[in-house]
Structure 1
């Protein structure tokens, strides 16, 4: 019965308008997701690409990502909330830490999976290390790298509901407010919207990854390098 009432709550036009309406909460949720992903990518992607290119520190990747994934996000958020107080700073920091392992692993795996002979051919025709990374390795590694971004995005979207733990922000407000007031249709409705949002992003990113993978597997890059090297 609560499930039917939850869909009625979602379908009610009165719940969509205003600064606390569903539309505004979705925008807030996506904004938190985007900012957290951007901050995590700024840290993890350069490190992952550099380790994948040089091979130095590769043994630490597995241990590092495993250790970070083992950290309970709610516990981390509680700790940051006590240190930083009420607001978005605590959940944003927790979400950034949550996203780093997937982004780091995706960047490293993508660069590491590139055939060494292709990178060798690029160096043989006079490319600098930076050019080898940006013009050869990154384009070929892009499908795996996008896979890491895809995994991190889904983790953030699902966990960003915790932003409402310390701030009146995002779709998580419906879950916390519904639980506190025993308004279960609101709580279940908020959860359904988060699930729908995650599924939509998953489908979009999967389509992007598939398109890029099809382009990368075309022989253009390999043939160009091979013809130049020959």
Structure 2
């Protein structure tokens, strides 16, 4: 039997769909880890990007941050933090948060800083404070751009979260590392296919949510 056939047989084996090492459990771990990372990254990146966009400061810093993040070896970061913090999920979470932050910061800055100037000036003329202008005018106008940043970060993290299994027994990446260790290539390929399938599903879901948001906001803004 060829490798693809053996991989399909591995995926079709009921034993791989139950128990603590089953596909549903690993899938839930992978999704949970991804969502936790995006939540932490968003909590850090949103205020930073919003402040920088509102004040129109730090464009060069953001460019350096984004370009620098592309050069960071994520596996190297995981190894570094694992040596410091020990085996477990903390190391991959920190590494993935570092990976996700630049996309969200850049998108938030771009969306806030490019908000309609007439709308911003009108809000200030009405007596809005800086905070009110940011939260009531700039942030709503920037939501599509910010959403794009979250989507980009989400896709990066869900595809890269396989490295968590390098130092922790979680996620779909466990099949890849376990298969590599035991030379079980069907298991390795199955883990890769599951990760790719999840990334494609997340891409489709994020695109669908984006279209729904644009439809709802367009509908609300259309006069009756």
- TM-score, with structure 2 as normaliser: 0.93
Which stretches in structure 2 are left out of the alignment for 5+ residues? none
Q: Distance in 1 between matches of 2:211 and 2:139?
A: 16
* Matching of residue 46 in structure 1 with residue 47 in structure 2: yes
Q: Which residue of structure 2 aligns with residue 83 of structure 1?
A: 84
**Structure 2 vs 1, CA of residues 219 and 59 (structure 1 numbering), >3 Å: closer, same or farther?**
farther
Which stretches in structure 1 are left out of the alignment for 5+ residues? 224-230
Q: CA RMSD in A?
A: 1.7
Q: Distance in 2 between matches of 1:4 and 1:114?
A: 53
Provide Cα deviations, 1:158-191, integer angstroms capped at 9, x if missing partner. Answer: 1111111011111111000111111111110111
Q: Which residue of structure 1 aligns with residue 185 of structure 2?
A: 184
**Structure 2 vs 1, CA of residues 217 and 55 (structure 1 numbering), >3 Å: closer, same or farther?**
farther
Query: Residue 218 of structure 1: CA displacement?
Result: 6.2
Q: Which residue of structure 2 aligns with residue 227 of structure 1?
A: none
Query: Residue 59 of structure 1: CA displacement?
Result: 2.3
Q: Which residue of structure 1 aligns with residue 18 of structure 2?
A: 17
Provide Cα deviations, 1:172-214, integer angstroms capped at 9, x if missing partner. Answer: 1100011111111111011111111111111111111222234
Provide Cα deviations, 1:102-146, integer angstroms capped at 9, x if missing partner. Answer: 111111111122111111112222222222222211111111111
Structure 1 moving runs of 4+ over 6 Å: none
* Matching of residue 144 in structure 1 with residue 165 in structure 2: no
Q: Which residue of structure 1 aligns with residue 131 of structure 2?
A: 130
The worse-fitting range, judged by mean Cα deviation, of 203-212 and 91-100 is 203-212
* Alpha-carbon contact 1:164-1:170 (below 8 Å) kept: yes
